[in-house]
Structure 1
Amino acid sequence: MNTFAIEMMDLGTAADPLLVRVGRQAGNGKGVPLLMFNGIGGNIELLAPLAERMPEREIVIFDIPGVGQSQLPRGPYRLCGIARMATQILDRFGIGQADVLGVSWGGAAAQEFAYRFSDRCRRLVLCATAAGVAMIPASPTVLWKMATPKRYTDAKYSRSISGDIYGGDFRTHPSLATELFRHIKWQSKLGYYLQLVAIAGWTSIHWLPGLRQPTLLMAGADDPLVPLANAKLMRMLIRHSELKVFDCGHLFLVTRPDDSAAAIRAFLDKP
């Protein structure tokens, strides 16, 4: 069951329209809304199970252009453009300030949003992410497997490499990749590569100490893609931050949704 009400928003211009698929969970009207940024190649449905465990909270999420069912853009974009797009979506819903969550690639987008639009971000949750090119990298074999979107188009291949790139529960239960694959709404290789281009050369390392938002860093102890050392580094750089480590891998939001939702709720609901 998809907890999100889905709509298509035109976030382009009259000369260059761009239809973006947006999901919104209504919540109970209390508290601060939560804006989510998904990982690379990820569509709205991937984070629906997490949202279902926070039914009281208004949640907004969207498919990045060229991903899921959002329209493929005419050309490349950068993370600053994705952050601006998020403000347009919040404006359409009449949301002035939100809490912001980002996972993996989306964690970089969330950092960019918090930095560029700091007055619109109350608290920040960064999951399985890093500070861009200044990160402690994954092994070359893991990076090579991530360079291609084949895991989103070939179910058998996805099962065979899921433990290598996601670690944690995927090492012992490769069948989890089948469930993950079921939620994927694949669009095109170009959309995937545009996401890689968007983050190429990007880093937050020089302005992380200036972030004002209280920040929860969430990481997996066995994450081949974004090693735990990255979260520890960011914990040192972000002044008002805390670190929550799961005995899991890169996709703890998917494999441990109950524990993840509990940690997120406890952090966002602090006085």
Structure 2
Amino acid sequence: MKIGRQAWMIQTSGDLSLKDRMALLSHSLLPALKQSIKMYAFASQSKRNVQHDLSLDDLYLPDSADVKQALQKMQSCSSEALQNHCLRTWCYAVAFAKMQNLKRDDELLAVSCLLHDLGMTEQHYQHHENCRCFAGQGAYAAKDWSIEQGWHAPRADQLFDVISMHMNPYVALEDGIEAHLLQQAASCDVIGSRGFEFSPQFRLQLQQQYPRLDFNHKMIEFSQLEAINRPKSRTAMVVQSGFKQLINLNPYLVK
């Protein structure tokens, strides 16, 4: 049973067993560590491994009613800093997809990115009574929202998995293209993972369009409190692995 998926969340309420921890260490943290090594290695080089000369002008949110409703949902309960993080995450996700020529469901990806941190909001932090994981809470909230929008159960379940799995340190392509893209994009924005694949111009453009404001401070504050309140969660494990330091040492933030 894949860690982070809905079946796992229902069975565990988001608590990691020893077996789960070992699985994350072997299948998630090691790939994430390799990405971190590349991140710091390329950050010190003058020539970056930029695969495409991307511009924000090349990225468009899908023009669908559900995406518009998801944007309104995010804005209704999220701080400006969190809204900007979600929008930057979508930009990175689509950029990664373009660079890798990945065939994705653009609407599902957009909605997942926009709603992936509902569990960080006051409105949805305790959305589901039997969940001890903010990513799971956000996934439950997003799934309930999607059903209200008229989504069929399989697609709503897919939205749950994409959002819930983003808290894994690494999500492989075979675990789902949208889930892979969301996790990689959120990680890129928060700690700089794979940031070397983007030009300084693109990152500057992104930061000017969607300023970070006090996002770093709020993310550190939230994750540390989550680790205390939900000590068996994936967030707690990530915090214990040095999450605060990774946020503060992100080498790809435009100064």
Query: TM-score, with normalisation over the residues of structure 1?
Result: 0.33
Query: TM-score, with normalisation over the residues of structure 2?
Result: 0.35
Higher helix share: 2
Query: Higher relative contact order at CA 8 Å, sep ≥6: structure 1 or structure 2?
Result: 2
Higher strand share: 1
